Structure 1
Amino acid sequence: MEKYCETIYRDPVFHQLMDSQEKYDLIILEAALNECSLPLVYKFDLPFIYIMGSMPLPWHLEAIGSPLAFDHYPQISSNYADEMNFWQRTYNTLSGIVAIYYWRWMVMPVIDRLAAEMLQIENLPTIEEIEKHYLNLLILNTNMGLNYQMATTPVVIQAGGINLGPAKPLPDDLETFVNGSGDAGCIIVSFGTYIKNSEIPDDVRRIFLSTFARLPQRILWKWEDDKKIGHRESIPSNVKLMPWLPQADLLGHPKMRLFITHGGVNSIQEAVYHNIPLIILPVLVDQPLNAQKAQDDGYAIRLDWDNLTEEILFNAIEQILTNSSYAEKMEKVSELMRDQMETPLDRVIYWIEYIIRHKGAPHLRTASRKLSLHQRFLFDVMLFVVLVGILMFSVLTRVLRYFSRKGRIQKRDFKKTN
């Protein structure tokens, strides 16, 4: 974050904006690691919107005053489902709370220090104060049919699939290759931008190539540099390596049968939209959670890089292609994803314009954003109730002891009198 902020605060375009006298209605910022840009919000004195390319991080929900729902909404660092046992809920809650406090106490002070040193803005509030005062909308790349359900406020908008639509025609050479697959169809292999060819170990690459050589399907593999292939290795005749793939358009082609992917949120959304089952090999961030959710919902198989063998990969492919339950589950989830009152794009446009029309729409924000975390979780209330309960129990015990002792004394005196 320190290097990122230093880069931004030295950028001429950033200072051009800071010195600008232009008038604007709204600022839209990418939410992930972009708090360094918040001095712009304070400078223009405008409401701003966060857009998040995946599921929300705990400090984003906390900043906008949305329920954190640690009891059923798994954090990005876990592989839990929404039904968690006691220990899972404990880990989920503690990890979420620690993440929020770490962000507030360790990361944001770094931004405050750099902003004060490099921007020299008089009376600049803390980044946390700017965020909580001006943040008016959080747009997430999530979908109710794909992701775990979370309790939200009106200022949290789910817009998963905003970039999706009917498949476009393929280039002629690619169309020829795909159509030539016959009834067997095609398989797409792409691990996004996270995994480069050089990062795939040689033995794992050989597992993929030897597995694909056993298949009747044609394989389209996103492979940026074929020089990474060993000299003694041969590319099977049914495999086509390409440095870039029109992924969404390929997934929408009727010849597609399977998508092997890393489990990025956009890749999963594109596959679900076009009804293509998945084999997912997750790597980092939200990918393990995405993979687990897809497998639990029955339209994907999750595999692990460390335990991958040719037989495991081949059997997973065969299971997806021959077991109709995966296609049936995918069709159901795809229907859930598409069944919306309006398109995600129309929804986002409406709410952006709504925020502009109503000068930030402060009436939509909950007052809980002004509370500390222990107050939002009602820890202070529960502590008060426990202390009052202990006090009342102590008083009641003393009263009972007093009357019990008094009763014994009266009984003894009565016996002496008799």
Structure 2
Amino acid sequence: MARVLAVITPAEGHVNPSLGLVTQLTDNGEEVVYVCTEEYRSRIEQTGAQLLTYPFPQDAFSHDPVMKPQEYKHPYQFIYMMVGGIIRRMVPEVLRVIGNQKFDYLIFDSLMGWGGTILAEKLGIPAVCSIASFAFVEPLGADQGLNAEETDTKELYEATMKITRELAHEFQVSIPAMEEIPAHAGRLKLVYTSRYFQPEAEKLDDSFIFAGPSIIPRQDAPAFPFELLRERYPHTVYISMGTILNKNLDFYQLCFEAFGDLPVNVVLSSGRYTDMKPLADRIPANFIVKPYVAQLEMLQHTDVFITHAGMNSTSEALYYNVPLVMIPLTSDQPLVANRVQALGAGIALDKHNLSPAVLREALAEVLSNPLYKQQACLIGESLGQAGGYKRAADMIMNHFAKV
């Protein structure tokens, strides 16, 4: 069997989708060496892979000025983040920790972009690109209409290409064009969604494998009293704003005001590192607030999911046929929210124009109109039929067995 090197950006939304695939590869007999950070040791080792770690700031995606999420107004902003925040930090560390080990193929995270091509070239092996969001037909920000002749974009271009030239010299590889840096490279591109849910899927060739979301239970999930939910009210609303931008107490207060007097259960996952003490005496009686909720289990008891529209959370909800009220905050979330809304499975709200009335009205619409549930089921069916991580592992192994 093959030796596989997996290199995934150390972020929840990128590591989690890869876990089912890696588990299946090891179950199928592949030897997987997974390079990531210490933070993810427990869940990665549960896959059967060997973990090699390197230092990386645990809160980089929350506080680092280059890497923290933002609304990309032009592709150069996204590409600069990839080069200056991801490639420059990860590629040297990966090459350092693997030493002189030999591998048969590489699985790398799409957020690394050209960095994955560098690794594949230096190791002399073919690669698979792991795409944790939609496959980007155009880079993030390409649809915002910012003029490429503006001073800011010229400076971004020069800063990005300066780092790119330095990295190309360091690793003795050719210098890519700007548009090649974020491109999905590799023999195969694994996308954790369905062709139906993927925007502009007709523009993507057969090297893209649409396997659906990687639904694998988290072993570290705490217990939750699910049996109490239906005893209280017939409907349950679940609120979670992800793991990076989930400390907005003002938003949680808005939710209390919007939903506190409704005859529904409201389960709020506030985040492990969110201090809810300032709001402790304002939590309505119909709310259950926990720092962490087993999301896959929770969604199976949920009627409407209020979310930031991160790709993982959105896919998991739709997999379980749950319609959504979405408040996209940053990065690819507006793209995901727009796709869900376009397919009729939810409502996207403007984060700048939230109020208790707006939240309440959106929830009432999705709860009362059966069309949202019907469309969520349609997407969910397409995700379930995509085959998941078992099909992805089989296709990858079959491909490289023929090479």
Same fold? TM cut 0.5: yes
Residues 296/36 of structure 1: CA separation in 2 closer, same or farther (3 Å cut): closer
> Contact (CA 8 Å) 1:77, 1:286: kept in 2 or not?
no
Partner of 1:348: 392
Gap change, CA 1:299 and 1:56, over 3 Å in 2: closer
- SS of match in other structure, 2:225: helix
| Other-structure match for 2:373 | 327
Q: Are the equivalent residues in 1 in contact too, given 2:113–2:182 (CA < 8 A)?
A: no
Bigger-Rg structure (1/2): 1
- d(CA) in 2 for partners of 1:196, 1:171: 19
- RMSD of the alignment, in Å? 3.5
> Counterparts of 2:399 and 2:232 in 1: how far apart (Å)?
50
Q: CA deviation at 1:9?
A: 5.6
- Residues 263, 6 of structure 1: CA spacing in aligned structure 2 closer, same or farther, 3 A cutoff? closer
- Read off the aligned partner of 2:324 and give its amino acid letter: L
Query: What's the CA shift string for 1:166-187, capped at 9, x where partnerless?
Result: 999x9654224434334x2211
Alignment of 1:3-402 (within 5 A): 4-8=86-90, 11=93, 14-17=95-98, 19-20=99-100, 22-58=101-137, 76-77=140-141, 107=160, 110-117=163-170, 124-126=173-175, 135-148=186-199, 149-161=201-213, 163-164=214-215, 173-182=224-233, 184-197=234-247, 200=248, 202=250, 204-224=251-271, 227-230=275-278, 233-253=281-301, 256-340=302-386, 343-359=387-403
Using the alignment, how far apart are the partners of 2:189 and 2:305 within structure 1?
Answer: 30
Q: Deviations over 1:45-65 (max 9, x none)?
A: 111111111122357xxxxxx
Q: What TM-score does the superposition give when structure 2 sets the normalisation length?
A: 0.66
Regions of 4+ moved over 6 Å: 101-106, 128-132, 165-168
Partner of 1:399: none
Asked whether the equivalents of residues 36 and 111 of structure 1 are also in contact (C-alpha less than 8 Å), the reply is: no
Indicate how the Cα distance of structure 1 residues 107 and 219 shifts in structure 2: closer, same or farther if over 3 A, else same: same
Give, in whole Å, the separation in 1 of the partners of 2:186 and 2:166: 21
| Deviation at residue 313 of structure 1 after TM alignment | 1.0
Q: Deviations over 1:268-288 (max 9, x none)?
A: 211111111110001112211
Counterpart residue identity of residue 77, structure 1: G
Residues 309 and 336 in structure 2, CA contact (< 8 A), matched pair in contact too:
yes
- Report what 1:384 is aligned to: none
Contact kept in structure 1, 2:132 and 2:192, CA below 8 Å: yes
Q: CA deviation at 1:194?
A: 3.0
Residues 166, 252 of structure 1: 8 Å contact kept? no
Q: Secondary structure at the match of 1:335?
A: helix
- 1:159 partner letter: A
Match of 1:23, SS?
Answer: coil
Confirm or deny: 8 A CA contact 1:263 1:281 kept in the other structure: yes
1:314-334: CA deviations, max 9, x gaps? 111111112222222222332
Task: Return the structure number with greater helix share.
Answer: 1
SS class of match (1:160): coil
Which residue matches 1:70?
A: none
Q: Give aligned-pair identity as a percent.
A: 23
Question: What is the rounded CA distance, in whole Å, between the counterparts of 2:91 and 2:112 in structure 1?
Answer: 14
Change beyond 3 A, Cα 1:115–1:9: farther
Structure 2 unaligned spans of 5+: 1-82, 149-153
Q: Distance in 2 between matches of 1:45 and 1:188?
A: 47
Amino acid at match of 2:292: W
Q: In the aligned structure 1, how far is the partner of 2:318 from the partner of 2:128?
A: 28
Q: CA deviation at 1:26?
A: 0.6
The answer to whether the 8 Å contact 1:38/1:130 transfers is no
Alignment: residue pair count: 310
Are the aligned partners of 2:326 and 2:337 in contact in 1 as well (CA < 8 Å)?
Answer: yes
